[in-house]
């Protein structure tokens, strides 16, 4: 099997999963025109349209569904054969590693990770994807080989066919403007519950969000978030000059405390320790390249020092 055919089959597997040329292109790190070109080549190879446009997105043909499992099995067998027979040399490798990570974990780990990769393996490519919040979808991506690693804080930790490696710990703190009109160095439960909060979009799907809401629910109370933003950076920059408060990981707050005139406060609730780990499928456990990448990632976690 030549390389173009192999790349096309990998693209087919991603297209079948995403049912979208643009999403498949993003996942593979390609432009949309390049992905469209691959789809045309696949249609010619299999003498079938494979994926057709509909009002609900792209839908697979009967032929596409027929060959999907065979293609996936072929790719898995090929990867096992190649990875078992070719020693991994970081200095010369051209391998691509795909991982998913939430914004906080990416912010803490990836800069350290990329510095090490550029020193030891300049030909290696790292692609960081947005997290798959649904655990079944994340497992499916790992099983299919579309993700090499998932970085996440899971309660309870994932088990079954996944292996895991602890990366770093953190704790949750509250933040407020240093000149907040009603907070002076400490935060009461009533203040925490009555003051307007700012949160990131997708908060309710995160382990952090579930942990905070569960702690509040145990008190028989709830919070209505006043503002929703897309990132921690926007959140931090929105706090000064307002009566807003937020809960964030301490390591994020430390980066912004002095620059943005924030005060860090202990939450008036018992909250769990933030424990980020890397998860991968058993199929990659013995792969030499994957082992090297896990070592680099573990070292990046230890360097955080939390």
The predicted pLDDT at position 294 comes to 97
pLDDT digits (tens, 9 = 90+) for 191-204: 999 999 999 988 88
Map residue 204 onto helix, strand or coil.
helix
Domains of the chain: 3-85 (1.10.10.10), 96-169+275-304 (3.40.190.10), 172-272 (3.40.190.10)
Map residue 5 onto helix, strand or coil.
helix
pLDDT band at 18 (very low <50, low <70, confident <90, very high): confident
CA-wise closest residue to 13 among 72, 74, 60, 64: 72
pLDDT band at 278 (very low <50, low <70, confident <90, very high): very high
CA-wise closest residue to 125 among 29, 26, 261, 254: 29
CA 95 to chain centroid: 19
Residue 297, pLDDT above cutoff 80: yes
The predicted pLDDT at position 306 comes to 57
When pLDDT is averaged across residues 147-167 and rounded to a whole number, the result is: 85
Q: Would you tell me how many other CB atoms lie within 10 Å of the CB of residue 115?
A: 12
When pLDDT is averaged across residues 72-96 and rounded to a whole number, the result is: 80
What phi and psi values does residue 30 have, to the nearest 5 degrees?
-115, 165
Judge if the upstream peptide bond of residue 156 is cis by omega within 30 degrees of 0. Answer: yes
The predicted pLDDT at position 69 comes to 85
Residue 81, pLDDT above cutoff 80: no
Residue 1, pLDDT above cutoff 60: no
Q: Which of 67-76, 88-97, 144-153 has the lowest mean pLDDT?
A: 67-76
When pLDDT is averaged across residues 62-86 and rounded to a whole number, the result is: 80
Residue 52 CA to residue 274 CA, distance in Å, equals 44
User: Which has the higher per-residue pLDDT, 3 or 272?
Assistant: 272
Q: Which of 6-10, 154-158, 159-163, 187-191 has the lowest mean pLDDT?
A: 154-158
Residue 54, pLDDT above cutoff 90: no
Q: Find which of 206-220, 246-260, 286-300 is predicted with most confidence, using mean pLDDT.
A: 286-300
pLDDT digits (tens, 9 = 90+) for 216-237: 998 888 887 779 999 888 998 9
When pLDDT is averaged across residues 53-73 and rounded to a whole number, the result is: 87
The predicted pLDDT at position 284 comes to 87
User: Which has the higher per-residue pLDDT, 297 or 133?
Assistant: 297
Q: Find which of 1-5, 13-17, 254-258 is predicted with most confidence, using mean pLDDT.
A: 13-17
């Amino acid at each position: 099997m030549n390389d173009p055919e192999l790349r096309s089959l990998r693209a087919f597997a991603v297209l079948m999963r995403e049912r979208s040329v643009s999403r498949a292109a993003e996942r593979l790190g390609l432009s949309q025109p390049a992905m469209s070109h691959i789809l045309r080549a696949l249609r010619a190879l299999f003498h079938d349209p494979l994926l057709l446009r509909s009002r609900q997105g792209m839908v697979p043909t009967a032929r596409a569904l027929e060959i999907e499992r065979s293609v996936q099995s072929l790719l898995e067998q090929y990867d096992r054969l190649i990875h078992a027979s070719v020693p991994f040399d970081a200095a010369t490798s051209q391998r691509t590693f795909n991982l998913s990570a939430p914004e906080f974990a990416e912010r803490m780990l990836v800069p350290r990770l990329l510095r090490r990769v550029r020193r030891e393996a300049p030909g290696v490519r790292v692609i960081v994807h947005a997290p798959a919040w649904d655990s079944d979808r994340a497992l499916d991506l790992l099983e299919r080989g579309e993700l090499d690693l998932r970085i996440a804080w899971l309660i309870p930790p994932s088990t079954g066919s996944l292996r895991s490696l602890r990366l770093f710990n953190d704790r949750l703190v509250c933040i407020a403007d240093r000149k907040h009109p009603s907070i002076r160095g400490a935060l009461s439960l009533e203040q925490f519950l009555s003051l307007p909060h700012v949160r990131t979009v997708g908060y309710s799907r995160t382990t952090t969000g579930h942990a905070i809401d569960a702690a509040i629910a145990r008190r028989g109370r709830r919070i209505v978030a006043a503002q929703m933003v897309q990132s921690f950076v926007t959140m931090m920059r929105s706090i000064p000059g307002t009566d807003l408060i937020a809960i964030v990981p301490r390591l994020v707050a430390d980066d912004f405390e002095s620059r943005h005139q924030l005060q860090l406060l202990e939450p008036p609730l018992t909250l769990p320790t933030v424990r980020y780990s890397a998860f991968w499928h058993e199929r990659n456990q013995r792969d030499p390249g994957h082992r090297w990448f896990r070592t680099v990632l573990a070292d990046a976690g230890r360097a955080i020092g939390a």
